[in-house]
Chains A and B, each alone.
Chain A
Amino acid sequence: MQRIGVFVCWCGSNIAGTVDVKQVAEMLKHEPGVVFSTDYQYMCSESGQNLIKDAIKEYDLTGVVVCSCSPRMHENTFRKAAASVGLNPYMVEIANIREQCSWIHKDMPVGTAKAVILGRAAVAKVHLNAPLTAGESPVAKRALVIGGGIAGIQTALDIAEAGFPVDIVEKSPTIGGKMAQLDKTFPTLDCAACILTPKMVEAAQQEKINIYAYSEVDSVKGFVGNFDVTIRRKARFVKEDLCTGCGLCTEKCPMKKVPNEFNCGMDNRSAIYIPFAQAVPKVATIDASYCIKKKTGKCGLCSTVCGVGAIDYDQKDEFIEQKYGAIVVATGFEPISVEKFDEFAYSQSPDVVTSLEYERLMNAAGPTSGTLLRPSDKQHPHTIVFVQCVGSRCDAKNEKGKQYCSKVCCMYTAKHAMLTREKYPDTDVYVFYIDVRTPGKNFDEFYRRAVEDYGVHYIKGMVGKVVPENGKLKVQASDLLANEQLHIDADMVVLAAAIEPDKSARPLATMLTASMDTNDFFTEAHPKLRPVESPTAGVFLSGMCQGPKDIPDTVSQASACAAKVIGLLSKDKLTGNPCVAHSDELLCNGCSSCEKVCPYGAITYADKEFRMPDRTTAVRRVAQVNPAVCQGCGACTVACPSGAMDLYGFSNQQIMAEVDAICK
């Protein structure tokens, strides 16, 4: 018989406000096996924990039930407290009487009654708890960073700096990500390339960093400390080790009509290309869907001009298998497609552009070499209308857009407006906004400069319609403060498109078994306290993949993420989760049902000799679980018809005892 102590937490008034904690403690005192029951204001505080520790010693407790907040919050706290005085931590159970009781019920008697039942269920479970010891597994001291934008680069640099090898996997031919496409950065207006490219070069030169550009993660197996990852190195048809990046092939390539994604398709590149001058690695890539040689077998000009013989038309995808201790997701974002917002006429006029396209139009390395010319007639625009929140902050019923604020648009629009007015003071610039959101160091000052010093017309209100007419864009909008309709004949309209997670994020999340929210942003382990970890152990989040953020936030998060990875990699061994499956060999039929449903391949079979009742022996095939690989989902326990498979910590008996206690 267990000797159980019950500890009911008030959580200040959070629990005590709707649950009569004294009565709960009193009622649970009479449960079988309960030898001590008390309540306290804050069980998780040091004195609360001491209360538990003292009771374990004084009453020689073999089991502890804490009626408190969610086990997701403090289960570990109380387990540690128990362990510190010699009680096996897995003899502690939590009854969640805050999130699942006091916070959702208003009526004291109702809340109290439910709290007692939840407490009873926990007591019933503890009766069947057994001390568990966690196994240990080694940590592969290498990190994988998926995504080579500023977030991935920063995380990789910080991890490498601490002495651990890092591989960056980037799906495009060069690292740099979206930041490489930006012109200037707010609020300091320093040029993006000037601050990003040194980081790219540093990553390339850092001995501990290995860049797999033009590569993708093909599969991920394993678990924290022991991920087995297969990386697909897509065929560039150019030998990366030979190519010097001289660019001769790109000049000679006869196929020059390929939309240039680096300039958002506003100009063309050749079929063999280097995305931009500062690309890392600076290696050419053949775009097989346009290459004449790849499509027709004729041409081969690039191969002829290449002085080092780097061209290899027969190159195949290559697969690399590598073990990692930690995986960082830094898959970033992309702007949403604004074509569905037809009222802004994006698909009807080339002079309606997205902010990222505008960014390229302003950039010296862009399609217009930095001179602001409108795409349709290459003339200098005199009136420009910026539309904020295109697809951001939509209500839930609007299926076209996102409910969230994209966070960066207010600031980059202020930047665009300011830069336009500075370079071309004869231009009229209008910005239509719902609100201008400028929290951040020097952000509001920046926006006010745009309005006050640069004379940008900020108008609160939304643009209703844009109609291309006689080479002009007729903009119909409302000024909410003046309460009037505006008609502006604009030369260009710039749409601040909402941002969304990169399309590659969803399949990657499935591969990593990392959870995502409804918008496909990765979920953090805790929104406030563990913002750079995924709930899946060993998977970390860096940058926009977790939510909209600007460059300073991204870099801070990237470094925070690196710190977490370094913390993990500096451990030699990880203590596993002891709540794993185990098979009772006497009951096992050896039928393989469990093996078929195990997602981790944790179950193997062995032929074992058994003594039969009639003193003969028989050899039977029985299942065996590898506790280091098992993650404790329990799929096997239900697949097993004989009940030979059971799960430590959530055994058949324990769950049924909880059911019984609740239904009593």
Chain B
Amino acid sequence: MQDRMIARAKALLADGTVDRVMGWQKGEFAYDITPAVFRSPEALDRDFVFNDFAAANVSKYLVKESRKGGKILAFLKPCDSYSFAQLMKEHRVVRENVYIIGIPSWGKTDFEKIKDRGLSGIKEIKDNGADYFVATVYGDEVTVPKFEVMLDRCKDCKSKKIVVYDELLEEPNGEEVENHRFDEVAKLEAMTPDERFAFWRKELSRCIRCNACRNVCPACTCEKCVFDNRDSGVENKAAADSFEENLFHIIRAFHVAGRCTDCGECSRVCPQHIPLHLLNRKFIKDMNELYGDYQAGADPDTRPPMTDFRFDDCEPSVVYERGGAK
């Protein structure tokens, strides 16, 4: 697939359709792959990669890139396309400055899960179709089944559909997928408040306020984040105590409520492995249950639940009455 992507990118560069390409760039190791912009066929040949470790959602980069003038080619995976469509809805990207090729995704790999198998000093990972063949500097050679090390978010994939594109790399387009992504939220909801409190304290107390979740989030594209704004009254660069850990994550989840497409980048990049997506999914689950199903980014027109209402919406007291252990 990588070769076909490079070939297509070169063609579009050559015929002047685009003047640069948004994709993924090879790092020092096979698994550390970062988003990058390529401007020449040579650069594409040299650095462009697309493999199971190219998990990063590139849509957020297009907020700035699409405003720079010229036209940029972007390869969007299904979940990236939802984020992009949501950004279009919010007027954050200039659609006409982006040429989108939709690319399918069958799930990306969580490198941490490979490491968790006790492997260190990994020097090479070979893709043998269904399995990885991992070689380390210490001479270990291990075969790891791919499915076992897939990113959690991909196991819970909501859709293989590319919702916005100029062309598709592979026809036909994928479809929405049945999934169990709210199961974990439901499990938490079923706990007692004390258990939930203990759970989240344990998770959130590990937060080091590196801001990775915010910086990677395609919904967090504010010109200036309230947490960076001295005049907002809530500015804090580092969480000094447990309250601020809570505050940051509650407010972040609240700000992206109704806008979060559930792409899962926040949890993927968290160096402390905090399951941040469970906060966003809680809002999504609540909104689906209370105000009707809504998928951010799925279409350009539906009014997001947070800027909408019905006369017969439930009262906030519904929270006291609803399930969960007492």
Q: Are A619 and B67 in contact (CB under 8 A)?
A: yes
* Distance (whole angstroms) from the CB of A373 to the closest CB of chain B: 49
Interface residues of A in 418-438 (CB under 8 A from B): none
Contact with B along A578-608 (1 / 0, CB 8 A): 0000000011111111001100000001000
Of the candidates B90, B91, B221, B222, which one forms a contact with A587 in the assembled complex, judged by CB atoms under 8 Å apart? B222
Q: Are A643 and B91 in contact (CB under 8 A)?
A: no
The distance in angstroms between the C-alpha atoms of A641 and B256, with both chains bound, is 8
Which residues of the partner chain A approach B223 to less than 8 Å between Cβ atoms? Answer: 586-589, 620, 642, 644
Q: Are B306 and A639 in contact (CB under 8 A)?
A: yes
Q: Known contacts A590-B91, A592-B90: does B225 contact A642 (CB below 8 Å)?
A: yes
The distance in angstroms between the C-alpha atoms of A371 and B92, with both chains bound, is 78
Interface residue A652 (Cβ < 8 Å from any Cβ of B): yes
Which residues of the partner chain A approach B221 to less than 8 Å between Cβ atoms? Answer: 589
Contact with B along A610-642 (1 / 0, CB 8 A): 000000001111000000000000000001011
Interface residue B232 (Cβ < 8 Å from any Cβ of A): yes
Q: Known contacts A641-B222, A643-B226: does B91 contact A591 (CB below 8 Å)?
A: yes
The distance in angstroms between the C-alpha atoms of A456 and B90, with both chains bound, is 76
Q: Known contacts A639-B306, A642-B222, A642-B223: does B90 contact A589 (CB below 8 Å)?
A: yes
Task: Name 14 interchain pairs, CB-CB below 8 A, sorted by A.
Answer: A589-B90, A589-B221, A591-B90, A591-B91, A596-B303, A596-B307, A596-B308, A620-B67, A642-B223, A643-B226, A643-B229, A652-B232, A653-B231, A653-B233
* Distance (whole angstroms) from the CB of B296 to the closest CB of chain A: 12
Can you name the residue of chain B whose Cβ is closest to the Cβ of A594?
B307
Contact with A along B67-94 (1 / 0, CB 8 A): 1000000000000000000000011100
The distance in angstroms between the C-alpha atoms of A361 and B232, with both chains bound, is 71
Q: Known contacts A618-B67, A639-B307, A642-B223: does B233 contact A591 (CB below 8 Å)?
A: no
Which residues of the partner chain A approach B222 to less than 8 Å between Cβ atoms? Answer: 587, 589, 641-642
The distance in angstroms between the C-alpha atoms of A643 and B231, with both chains bound, is 9
Can you name the residue of chain A whose Cβ is closest to the Cβ of B231?
A653
The distance in angstroms between the C-alpha atoms of A596 and B224, with both chains bound, is 21
Contact with B along A396-413 (1 / 0, CB 8 A): 000000000000000000
Contact with A along B301-321 (1 / 0, CB 8 A): 001101110000000000000
The distance in angstroms between the C-alpha atoms of A636 and B67, with both chains bound, is 26
Q: Are B67 and A592 in contact (CB under 8 A)?
A: no
Can you name the residue of chain A whose Cβ is closest to the Cβ of B67?
A618
* Distance (whole angstroms) from the CB of A30 to the closest CB of chain B: 24
Q: Are B232 and A643 in contact (CB under 8 A)?
A: yes
Interface residue B237 (Cβ < 8 Å from any Cβ of A): no
* Distance (whole angstroms) from the CB of B228 to the closest CB of chain A: 10
Which residues of the partner chain B approach A619 to less than 8 Å between Cβ atoms? Answer: 67
Q: Are A586 and B224 in contact (CB under 8 A)?
A: yes
Can you name the residue of chain A whose Cβ is closest to the Cβ of B64?
A618
Interface residue A656 (Cβ < 8 Å from any Cβ of B): yes
* Distance (whole angstroms) from the CB of B235 to the closest CB of chain A: 10
Interface residue B113 (Cβ < 8 Å from any Cβ of A): no
The distance in angstroms between the C-alpha atoms of A605 and B304, with both chains bound, is 19
The residue among A590, A618, A643 with the most chain B CB atoms within 10 A of its own CB is A643
Interface residue B255 (Cβ < 8 Å from any Cβ of A): yes
Which residues of the partner chain B approach A589 to less than 8 Å between Cβ atoms? Answer: 90, 92, 221-223
Which residues of the partner chain B approach A656 to less than 8 Å between Cβ atoms? Answer: 233
The distance in angstroms between the C-alpha atoms of A516 and B308, with both chains bound, is 25
The distance in angstroms between the C-alpha atoms of A618 and B92, with both chains bound, is 13
Q: Taking beta carbons and an 8 Å cutoff, which residues of B are in contact with A?
A: 67, 90-92, 221-226, 229, 231-233, 255-256, 259, 303-304, 306-308
Which residues of the partner chain A approach B67 to less than 8 Å between Cβ atoms? Answer: 618-620
Which residues of the partner chain A approach B90 to less than 8 Å between Cβ atoms? Answer: 589-593
Q: Are A593 and B307 in contact (CB under 8 A)?
A: yes
List 8 tightest A-B contacts by C-beta distance, closest first. Answer: A596-B307, A642-B222, A591-B90, A641-B255, A656-B233, A643-B226, A643-B232, A590-B91
* Distance (whole angstroms) from the CB of A633 to the closest CB of chain B: 14
Which residues of the partner chain A approach B256 to less than 8 Å between Cβ atoms? Answer: 641
Can you name the residue of chain A whose Cβ is closest to the Cβ of B222?
A642
Instruction: Please classify the interface of chain B as helix (H, G, I), strand (E, B), loop, or mixed, using the class held by over half of its residues.
Output: loop
The distance in angstroms between the C-alpha atoms of A587 and B221, with both chains bound, is 11
The residue among A639, A641, A644 with the most chain B CB atoms within 10 A of its own CB is A641
Which residues of the partner chain B approach A644 to less than 8 Å between Cβ atoms? Answer: 223
Can you name the residue of chain B whose Cβ is closest to the Cβ of A616?
B68
Q: Are B224 and A590 in contact (CB under 8 A)?
A: no
Can you name the residue of chain B whose Cβ is closest to the Cβ of A639?
B307
The distance in angstroms between the C-alpha atoms of A618 and B63, with both chains bound, is 12
Of the candidates B231, B255, B259, B307, which one forms a contact with A597 in the assembled complex, judged by CB atoms under 8 Å apart? B307
Can you name the residue of chain A whose Cβ is closest to the Cβ of B219?
A641
Which residues of the partner chain A approach B232 to less than 8 Å between Cβ atoms? Answer: 643, 652
* Distance (whole angstroms) from the CB of A622 to the closest CB of chain B: 9
Which residues of the partner chain A approach B307 to less than 8 Å between Cβ atoms? Answer: 593, 596-597, 639
* Distance (whole angstroms) from the CB of B256 to the closest CB of chain A: 8
Which residues of the partner chain B approach A605 to less than 8 Å between Cβ atoms? Answer: 91
Can you name the residue of chain A whose Cβ is closest to the Cβ of B224?
A587
The distance in angstroms between the C-alpha atoms of A586 and B222, with both chains bound, is 10
The distance in angstroms between the C-alpha atoms of A591 and B67, with both chains bound, is 15
Which residues of the partner chain A approach B231 to less than 8 Å between Cβ atoms? Answer: 643, 653
The distance in angstroms between the C-alpha atoms of A641 and B306, with both chains bound, is 11
The distance in angstroms between the C-alpha atoms of A586 and B230, with both chains bound, is 14
Known: A592-B91, A641-B226. 11 other contacts (CB 8 A): A587-B223, A589-B222, A591-B92, A592-B90, A596-B307, A639-B307, A641-B259, A643-B231, A644-B223, A653-B231, A653-B233
* Distance (whole angstroms) from the CB of B97 to the closest CB of chain A: 12
Which residues of the partner chain B approach A591 to less than 8 Å between Cβ atoms? Answer: 90-92
Q: Are B91 and A642 in contact (CB under 8 A)?
A: no
Q: Are A590 and B92 in contact (CB under 8 A)?
A: yes
Q: Are B303 and A587 in contact (CB under 8 A)?
A: no
Which residues of the partner chain B approach A652 to less than 8 Å between Cβ atoms? Answer: 232-233
Which residues of the partner chain A approach B224 to less than 8 Å between Cβ atoms? Answer: 586-587, 642
Q: Are A642 and B226 in contact (CB under 8 A)?
A: yes
Can you name the residue of chain A whose Cβ is closest to the Cβ of B252?
A641
* Distance (whole angstroms) from the CB of A572 to the closest CB of chain B: 38
Q: Are B255 and A587 in contact (CB under 8 A)?
A: no
Which residues of the partner chain A approach B91 to less than 8 Å between Cβ atoms? Answer: 590-592, 605, 621
Can you name the residue of chain B whose Cβ is closest to the Cβ of A590?
B91
* Distance (whole angstroms) from the CB of B319 to the closest CB of chain A: 19
The distance in angstroms between the C-alpha atoms of A429 and B178, with both chains bound, is 78
* Distance (whole angstroms) from the CB of B96 to the closest CB of chain A: 13
The distance in angstroms between the C-alpha atoms of A309 and B113, with both chains bound, is 88
Interface residues of A in 230-264 (CB under 8 A from B): none
Interface residues of A in 56-76 (CB under 8 A from B): none
The residue among B90, B225, B308 with the most chain A CB atoms within 10 A of its own CB is B90
The distance in angstroms between the C-alpha atoms of A586 and B231, with both chains bound, is 13
* Distance (whole angstroms) from the CB of A443 to the closest CB of chain B: 44
The distance in angstroms between the C-alpha atoms of A80 and B276, with both chains bound, is 53
The distance in angstroms between the C-alpha atoms of A543 and B232, with both chains bound, is 49
The distance in angstroms between the C-alpha atoms of A520 and B89, with both chains bound, is 41
Which residues of the partner chain B approach A620 to less than 8 Å between Cβ atoms? Answer: 67, 223
Which residues of the partner chain A approach B306 to less than 8 Å between Cβ atoms? Answer: 593, 639
Which residues of the partner chain B approach A639 to less than 8 Å between Cβ atoms? Answer: 306-307
Which residues of the partner chain B approach A618 to less than 8 Å between Cβ atoms? Answer: 67
Q: Are B229 and A587 in contact (CB under 8 A)?
A: yes
The distance in angstroms between the C-alpha atoms of A644 and B232, with both chains bound, is 9
